[in-house]
Amino acid sequence: MLRFRMRWTFVIAGVLQAMLFFLDGIRILQTGTRAAISDRPWVGVVEFAGIDPTDLGPVLLGYGVAWLAVTFAVLRGSWIAQRLAAALAFATFWYIVAGTGVAIVYLIAMATLRDRGEIR
């Protein structure tokens, strides 16, 4: 039963992360203004790096597609997808607060599935 739950935890974390990126990306593309995303904690991180957050709509959509792709590629047993998924999760730590938390849950679930031999 725990094996089944961990697998679903992994899938839900990957899909949730993709949806977070899709929603913010679509919001930016629809409005094109900073007001649409001003309440997001990650905006401060991006601005500190010298990047205009209103330019990130397509980037966020790309992150969402990447999250879906690597999540399901890992479940299919692709060894390279595991490395890409881990890299993507670490590359998502800037997406504070929810994105960072979901990425940590995702990494823990993937490591657990790998230790149990459920993914190669």
CB contact at 8 A, 27 and 56: no
CB atoms within 10 A of CB 107: 16
Rounded Cα distance between 64 and 1, Å, is: 29
Q: Which residue ranges make up each domain of the chain?
A: 2-115
Please report the pLDDT score of residue 1 as a whole number.
56
pLDDT per position in the chain (120 positions), as tens?
556 788 899 999 999 999 999 999 999 999 888 887 888 888 889 999 999 999 999 999 999 999 999 999 998 988 899 999 999 999 999 998 889 999 999 999 999 988 888 887
The model scores a pTM over 0.75 = yes
Q: Token digits for 65?
A: 């597609």
Stated length of the chain = 120
